Amino acid sequence: MLNHFLTGAPSLSLRQKFYQDNRFVLSIWVVITLIFVIDSWATHRYNNYLIFENTFRNLLHERSLYAHYPAYHDDTNHYGPIFSLLIAPFAIFHNWVGLLLWNLFNCFLLFKAIQTLPLTQDQKVVIGYIAIPCLIESMLNQQFNAGEGALMIFSYTLLNKNKGLWSALCIVLGTFIKLYGIVGLVFFFFAKKKPEFILWLIIWSLIIFLLPMLFASPDYVAHCYVDWKNSLVGKNMLNVLGEGIDISIMGFFRQLLDEPGISNFLFLALGSLIFMLPFKRITNFEKQKFQLMILSSVLLFPVLFSTGAEDCTFIISITGVGIWYVKENNKAMKRVLLPVLLFITCNFPLLLFPAFAKSHPLSLAIISLPYFLVWLRVIYTATKNRFAYAEETEPEMVTALID
């Protein structure tokens, strides 16, 4: 029953291979999740989860959500104040149970989001397989990135089903947790009831902003937002100045050109201009493939242009890559670019030669390059003058991908 709810897949036909069924892909995702939860238990390596679950206690006791707490965990929290309530249902359990439920929650949420895409079942299966390398990284690091990606997808698919109220909630919630969700505001152009959609964005913003005040004082919560801003600015400075590892496309070009002083503003201004290029084609707004290309761009852009991006953050972008792949008409490009991207995503320098990789940041930052190339292709596709695409179906797509 759960598999049917998550996949929406019909029963297997006689001609369909078992690996072409969404339920099989879901099983792989769950097994991956369980393997890395067990690994975290065995190695006591679940520092990120400890950071997250501690935010709920800190909210209740009105302690800083962004300070160091070496007695409980290493590093600090960088998610918005509302996240302390999202993690609350998991924080009430013992850590080993909470970690299990947390990772399963993120796994199921992203998988369900992919199932809501207006694509064929074969295409959804392909996206599920493409996402596996990044799913491993995400489950290994216990971050909310899979959930953030799911909210970004839901913000489009719900609006596509004329559920602007819930689409607005996903945009606002994603933004108040990790900021990436703010890019989903471009879906406003696809809204049929634009004034109503704007109203819901405002209402949800007020609700999400005020909700932590049910558990802590207004002054404390307001100060938390200031602390959140400062924590993000501080993290950005560490990454740009070289004390952290900047694997964004900005970090890649800074390393490649050996020019660490190039400002983020220059990259962001140029990137934002490119990001908005497709929207000059107003006549394309109603076309489904155009909308899917914009969704793909939305999933790729914030990770590529964030100095806080980590290897586990690319679980957001890989779903955008999957959408591009199943809608791309140039088979030669698909056969070259996707294998290169998946190979680089596996991060072999860090896996096999960690000392070398950490002393040569370019070998780590290169992970963003193939995603950047996919993003440029997505922008080009969405900006084309003629957007008369046939909605192709590829019954052999899964077989071709695996074989």
Residue range 25-39, pLDDT digits in tens: 999 999 999 999 999
pTM: 0.91
Q: How far apart are CA 202 and CA 186, in angstroms?
A: 15
Q: How many CA atoms lie within 13 A of 34 on its CB side?
A: 6
Q: What's the pLDDT at 245?
A: 75
Reported for 64-67, long-range contacts at CB under 8 A and 24+ positions apart, including other chains, are 64/224, 64/227, 65/224, 65/227, 65/228, 66/224, 66/227, 66/228, 66/230, 66/231
Q: How far apart are CA 225 and CA 220, in angstroms?
A: 9
Q: What's the pLDDT at 236?
A: 79
The percent helix, strand, coil of the chain (3-state, each to 5) is: 75, 0, 25
pLDDT confidence tier of residue 161, bands split at 50, 70 and 90: very high
Q: Does residue 320 contact residue 391 with C-beta atoms inside 8 Å?
A: no
Residue of 28, 215, 263 lying closest to 139 (CA atoms) = 28
Average pLDDT over residues 168-193: 95
Q: What's the pLDDT at 402?
A: 52
Q: Does residue 296 contact residue 323 with C-beta atoms inside 8 Å?
A: yes
Residue of 370, 364, 316, 366 lying closest to 342 (CA atoms) = 370
pLDDT confidence tier of residue 282, bands split at 50, 70 and 90: confident
Assigned token pair, 85: 């309530």
Q: How far apart are CA 295 and CA 157, in angstroms?
A: 9
What are the residue ranges spanned by the domains of the chain? Answer: 28-402
Q: Per residue in 33-89, pLDDT tens?
A: 999 999 999 998 889 999 999 999 999 999 999 999 998 988 899 999 999 999 999
Averaged pLDDT of the chain: 88
Is residue 112 exposed (0-12), middle (13-18) or buried (19+ Cβ within 10 Å)? middle
Q: How far apart are CA 350 and CA 344, in angstroms?
A: 11
The DSSP secondary-structure symbol of 262 reads -
Assigned token pair, 129: 């397989």
Q: Per residue in 310-338, pLDDT tens?
A: 888 999 999 999 999 999 988 989 999 99
pLDDT confidence tier of residue 238, bands split at 50, 70 and 90: confident
Query: From the CB of residue 218, how many other CB atoms can be counted at a distance below 10 Å?
Result: 10
Assigned token pair, 145: 């990135």
